[in-house]
Amino acid sequence: MATKETYAARLNLTFDMGLDDDGKTMTRRSGYPCKIDALHAVGAAFSTLTDNPIINVSLTENSNIF
């Protein structure tokens, strides 16, 4: 059976920056390296530090499979 060992993780946040002149939603994306067990805490901390709402949170991870 294969095993997976994660060696890097990145928390990706997408912020709602409001509407443009045509009424389309403008977004801004940011990514931060993070340990997997701290993802929720980091995401929650960022949400309290910004005036713009977070509309998406995703995880990118790099792993070795043995």
How many domains does the structure of the chain reveal?
Answer: 1
Contact 50, 15 (CB under 8 A): yes
Residue given tokens 């067990």 in the structure block: 37
Q: Each residue of 30-54: pLDDT tens digit?
A: 998 888 777 778 878 888 888 899 9
Whether residue 5 lies inside any domain: the answer is no
Contact 64, 5 (CB under 8 A): yes
Residue given tokens 């993070």 in the structure block: 34
**What is the separation of C-alpha 28 from the centre of its chain, rounded to a whole number of angstroms?**
11
Across the range 55-64, mean pLDDT stands at: 92
Whether residue 57 lies inside any domain: the answer is yes
- For residue 26, give the nearest of 55, 46, 59 by alpha carbon: 55
pTM to 2 decimals?
0.74
Identify the domain containing residue 44 by its residue range. 10-65
Whether residue 1 lies inside any domain: the answer is no
